[in-house]
Amino acid sequence: MGEAIRRSKKRCQDAEITVRSAKRASRLPATPKLCLCLLSLSLGIVAQAPVVEKIDPPSWWTGSTIDPVRVLIRGKNLSGAKIESATPGITASNFETSANGHYLFADIKIAETVRVGKYDLKILTSAGTSNFPFEIFAPQPRLGNYNGFRPDDVIYFVFTDRFADGDASNNDPPKSKGLYDRKKGRHYHGGDLQGIIDKLPYIKSLGATAIWTTPVYDNVDVPDTKETYPPEMPTTTGFHGYGAVDFYAVDEHLGSMAKLKEFVQKAHMSGFVVLQDQVVNHTGPYHVWAEDPPTPNWFNGTVKDHVSNNWQKWTTMNPRATYQTQRRNIDGWFIDILPDLNQNNPEVEKYLIQNSLWWMAQVGFDAIRMDTLPHVPRTYWSKWGAAVHREFPKVNILGELFDGDPALLSYFQKGRRGHDGIDPEIDTLYDFTLFYALRNAFAKGQSIRQVSQVFAKDWLYPKPNVLVSFLGVHDMERFMNEQGATIDGLKLAQTMIMTSRGTPLLYYGDEIAMPGGPDPDNRRDFPGGFPGDAKNAFSQNGRTAQENEVFDHLAKLGDIRKQLEPLRRGRSLDLVDEEQQFAFARLTDKEAVIVIFNNDTKPGEINFDISFISKQIGVNATLKDSLGKLPDIRVNDGKVKTTISARSAGIYIVK
């Protein structure tokens, strides 16, 4: 632009000389305005009308708790731009543009009287105008949506791309050709939303009542040459969904927005609640913002100048910490590649909060699974969580904090203010402390007392009974890959999470004892979910005897948990705590269930007193194992004495 103006001034100077010469030759009157006219004409040619390429969010709704909504427009020639609306009830104000003219921020206020529909808004600059559409939509109805999940539920985690291919037409879409290859572990394999819809009856047969899927955000459309694992994987893809390049679009490999809504609606009709996996810590490395951020501090650092994450999560709760000891954990870029969003920037904060609410309103999700809690400022979580709860009071938030320290996990649960005075508004977390103990006891054969020691620290949490217990997810090797893991150990671990406090979570494939090493091997295709599969583990006939043994055990646990209220809502009391034996009671005011474990490789004798819960279990009652594997137990004057076979468990109720 500067060079163009310089050339325009030069042409004006030349024109003025020509005019003066003509005046002397013909004695014409002076024309001093000619230079200004030529300059204005030249500038008019150089300056261009505004161009709109994208608007986030593309739509909003009346009656939202966010009013006005802050929009971010990306395009060209937006310097000094303003927005006008010809629609009564829609007004724009508070304009801010980026120095390069590529971004425009604006507040859009929407009156309650504005009807659902698409409306044209006009961007004006000194060089011209441009129209862009903005939609007012009707959010999903409150009835039947936004219901949250509870300890009554069992969550089934689907890694969408690896579960089931229900629509082969989106395997290699025109928008992103060449990213589909089932022979490559970090390429797309074809799993999609239609595949989950098709398998809802299968998921339900396990006793699951909630579904969590990997993120649906649009990921990069070309081979990823930034995150590579040579020589085996010189390129990768965004098959996992965690590298968003568009926070307001569904990735074409998974389906469409219409298909996403269909999935959630059909899941609701089948009795499920649905959790959306959201990410606010980072974008994908190919997001347009990476090289052209809306503001200079949109990210913590730049592509060329940033710190890498050091994973020192404990620094977030350290009362001695200063910013310099916390910086890499909060501001650092994951694997030195993923651009780390700066939630301390008010514009970033608003953008991310609105994005979370938009997805909920558009689709009707019931809960949010939030990624990477300890790598985002706690001040942000407090504002974000409050905004979610204000708009959708029943929606709850499941936070991921990959750490086994219960002091750190509890520091992030809603209902507790840390030494920083902040309540992070995160309803519940994955119980990673229990995860490690379960792996140690039941896969590696270590002492089961480790499990009891985890429960002994429940007092740290505001609400330990809503923690989410699990044996594994997509970020670690599968249970069956642990050294020493057996089918018996897996079944014991499954029994523990389905009978102890909290909401159990099942990772797809664990119901058939699927093995899997480090990423991406822990994200194998579910057998039978894809064209050409040699076996179909979705059906009983397609599973091996061992796979059916595990599947049937887990399905029975799901049924027992559904039938016995104490397993879902009861308080917990420990009865036996030995090196390899553990027994506890789950009881409500009316009922009690006794759960007994023997993790030893030989039979174990177990003795305990339950006379203090005689209201629920008579002092001379007979107890039967709901799993149907162990013999009845006779209570004698409130005392129990029995022998439990090696590596087994029983779920006892009054006969």
CA–CA separation, 449 vs 435, rounded Å? 14
CA–CA separation, 644 vs 627, rounded Å? 14
The two structure tokens encoding residue 368: 């949010």
Q: Check pLDDT > 80 for residue 509.
A: yes
Spell out the domain ranges in the chain. Answer: 2-46, 51-136, 155-287+343-563, 570-654
| pLDDT, mean of residues 340-364 | 98
Q: What is the DSSP string of 185-208?
A: TTSB----HHHHHHTHHHHHHTT-
Q: What is the pLDDT at residue 46?
A: 62
The two structure tokens encoding residue 589: 């005011």
Q: What is the pLDDT at residue 475?
A: 97
Q: Check pLDDT > 60 for residue 42.
A: no
Nearest of 130, 132, 150, 8 to residue 77 by alpha carbon: 130
CA–CA separation, 52 vs 74, rounded Å? 6
pLDDT tens for each residue of 109-151 = 999 999 999 999 999 999 999 999 999 999 999 999 999 999 9
The listed CATH number (3.30.420.40, 2.60.40.1180, 3.50.50.60, 3.40.50.410) that belongs to domain 570-654: 2.60.40.1180
Q: What is the pLDDT at residue 47?
A: 79
> Phi and psi of 252, rounded to 5°?
-65, -20
- Reported as type and span, the H/E element at residue 95 is strand 90-97
Q: Check pLDDT > 60 for residue 9.
A: no
Q: What superfamily would CATH give domain 51-136?
A: Immunoglobulins (2.60.40.10)
Contacts for 14 with CB less than 8 Å, ≥ 6 apart: none
CA–CA separation, 620 vs 573, rounded Å? 20
Helices (H) and strands (E) in the chain, counts: 14, 26
Q: What is the pLDDT at residue 8?
A: 41
Q: What superfamily would CATH give domain 155-287+343-563?
A: Glycosidases (3.20.20.80)
> Phi and psi of 87, rounded to 5°?
-95, 120
Instruction: Using DSSP, state whether 370 is helix, strand or coil.
Output: strand
Strand order in the sheet with 210-213: 428-429, 396-399, 367-370, 273-278, 210-213, 155-158, 503-507, 468-470
pLDDT tens for each residue of 391-423 = 999 999 999 999 999 999 999 999 999 999 999
What value does the mean pLDDT of the chain take?
A: 94
| pLDDT, mean of residues 610-635 | 98
Q: Check pLDDT > 60 for residue 388.
A: yes
pLDDT band at 26 (very low <50, low <70, confident <90, very high): very low
pLDDT band at 545 (very low <50, low <70, confident <90, very high): very high
Nearest of 76, 119, 120, 70 to residue 96 by alpha carbon: 70
Q: Check pLDDT > 80 for residue 1.
A: no
Contacts for 639 with CB less than 8 Å, ≥ 6 apart: 607, 608, 609, 610, 611
Share of the chain above pLDDT 70, in %: 93
Contacts for 527 with CB less than 8 Å, ≥ 6 apart: 512, 533, 534, 535, 536, 537, 542
CA–CA separation, 516 vs 503, rounded Å? 24
CA–CA separation, 215 vs 249, rounded Å? 11
Other C-beta atoms lying within 10 Å of the C-beta of residue 626:
22
Instruction: Using DSSP, state whether 583 is helix, strand or coil.
Output: strand
pLDDT tens for each residue of 169-205 = 999 999 999 999 999 999 999 999 999 999 999 999 9
Domain 155-287+343-563 identical in fold to domain 570-654 = no
| Residue 163 CA to its chain's centroid (Å) | 17
Measured over all CA atoms, what is the biggest interatomic distance in the chain, rounded to whole angstroms?
129
Instruction: Using DSSP, state whether 1 is helix, strand or coil.
Output: coil
Q: Check pLDDT > 50 for residue 27.
A: no
Instruction: Using DSSP, state whether 282 is helix, strand or coil.
Output: strand
